Amino acid sequence: MSIFVTGATGALGSIVIRQLLRTVPGDQITAVVRNVEKASSLTALGVEVRHGDYADPASLVKAFEGAGKLLFISSPDTDDTLRIVQHANVVKAARDAGVRHLLYTSFAYAEESVIPLAHVHLATEHAIRTTNIPYTFLRNSLYTEVFVNPGLSASLAHGALVTNTGSGRVNTAFRSDLAAAAAAVLTSDGHENKTYNLVSDTTWSYDELAALIAEITGKPFTHQAVSYDEQAKILSAAGLPEPVVHLVAGINQAVAEGETSRTSQDLKNLIGELTPLRSAVEDILKGSE
Ligand code: NAP
């Protein structure tokens, strides 16, 4: 069955395409992108590139023509109401174009989440159910890279991580592992009408992350727990825009309250061993040498 991937110029989508190319010929893969010029590296890989903009329903119906399995990667727009409109455009276009199996990158344990963006994902899952297209909900965890990224270098210099996560447990997965799971579902059978919570089988805390950094660097390093308001003040002072300040502090607060403490075997069952947290920490430390 032909495989189509939206958001293929993005971080997740581009890894999915590369993962697929390990087992699927390029001429069976179509990348749907809003900016065709940005997709020249995909064309060079032998993948067909088509224009499809989540804000332009007609472009989507045309782009999805002939799609067997479609991996719909959620929009990165920060306006959640607009995101729901964009997602409805994609879902209706998939129906009108006759897509045979629709995979969607949703959000882990969306019904129980207190993070506002969960509404977007639940609304989209419900929209997909109205089409009667066989679906697979790939309910991605928060990316490890959201928490452990080069932005930590200031904390490394300071000798402490300051967060309002308290002693909350964090369940994250690397983009590359989530991309591998999407590719696994796209290239194997038996995933129709299934919902996978693609979280790790283990969790970590900021105290443990700080201890790991101390162990790898051989230097004292700690986690300092602060309140939501203190966290917001620190992030504002670091120059982050207000919506981002509240998104970050809000996610941390949800972590503190147990939102990301659950584990599942779903991701491991699809791809085998998961990338360990240590590898993200080592990459950052290498980059900051
Ligand atoms: P990303 O790098 O920002 O990629 C988003 C993709 O969506 C890009 O290819 C982008 O195209 C495309 N796109 C944006 N607006 C579009 C439109 N109007 N029509 C068609 N395509 C459009 O994000 P990512 O890291 O790959 O993550 C994939 C998605 O997961 C994000 O979009 C977001 O919904 C969600 N997300 C999840 C987490 C998490 O922790 N689980 C974190 C961040 C985001 P361009 O290349 O042209 O910009």
- pLDDT per residue as tens digits for the range 52-109: 999 999 999 999 999 999 999 999 998 999 999 999 999 999 999 999 999 999 999 9
Instruction: Assess whether 104 and 159 both reside in one domain.
Output: no
Structural domain for 256, as ranges: 146-169+201-262+272-287
Instruction: Assess whether 78 and 128 both reside in one domain.
Output: yes
Using CA atoms, how far apart are residues 273 and 174, in angstroms rounded to an integer?
12
Using CA atoms, how far apart are residues 45 and 47, in angstroms rounded to an integer?
6
Determine, yes or no, domain membership for 178: no
Domain count, the chain: 2
Instruction: Tell me how far the alpha carbon of residue 14 lies from the centroid of ligand 1, in angstroms.
Output: 11
Residue closest by Cα to atom 39 of ligand 1: 142
Domain boundary among 140, 157, 177: 140
Instruction: Assess whether 281 and 156 both reside in one domain.
Output: yes
Query: Residue 257 belongs to a domain with what CATH number?
Result: 3.90.25.10
Please determine, for residue 289, whether its predicted confidence score (pLDDT) is greater than 70: no
Which tens digits make up the pLDDT trace of 196-238? Answer: 999 999 999 999 999 999 999 899 999 999 999 999 999 999 8
Check: CB of residue 87 under 8 Å from CB of residue 127.
yes
Query: Residue 136 belongs to a domain with what CATH number?
Result: 3.40.50.720
Instruction: Assess whether 85 and 164 both reside in one domain.
Output: no
Instruction: Assess whether 126 and 205 both reside in one domain.
Output: no
Return the closest-CA partner of residue 65 out of 51, 54, 55: 51
Determine, yes or no, domain membership for 193: no
pLDDT above 90: percentage of residues in the chain: 86
Annotate 54-81 with DSSP letters as a single string: TT-HHHHHHHTTT-SEEEEPPP--S-HH
pLDDT at 258: 92
Cβ of 106 closer than 6 Å to ligand 1, yes or no, is no
pLDDT at 1: 83
Instruction: Assess whether 25 and 84 both reside in one domain.
Output: yes
Whether the full predicted model's pTM is greater than 0.85, yes or no, is yes
Instruction: Tell me how far the alpha carbon of residue 227 lies from the centroid of ligand 1, in angstroms.
Output: 30
* Neighbouring C-beta atoms of residue 202, cutoff 10 Å: 12
Cβ of 35 closer than 6 Å to ligand 1, yes or no, is yes
Instruction: Assess whether 9 and 50 both reside in one domain.
Output: yes
Of ligand 1's listed atoms, the one at least distance from the Cα of 8 is 9
Check: CB of residue 140 under 8 Å from CB of residue 107.
yes
Q: What is the 3-state secondary structure (H, E, C) of 100-163?
A: CEEEEEEECCHHHCCCCCHHHHHHHHHHHHHHCCCEEEEEECEEHHHHCCHHHHHHHHHCEEEE
Residue closest by Cα to atom 32 of ligand 1: 76
Determine, yes or no, domain membership for 222: yes
Instruction: Assess whether 46 and 130 both reside in one domain.
Output: yes
Cβ of 59 closer than 6 Å to ligand 1, yes or no, is no
Cβ of 7 closer than 6 Å to ligand 1, yes or no, is yes
pLDDT category, 286, cuts 50, 70, 90? confident
* Both tokens assigned to 145: 């890279």
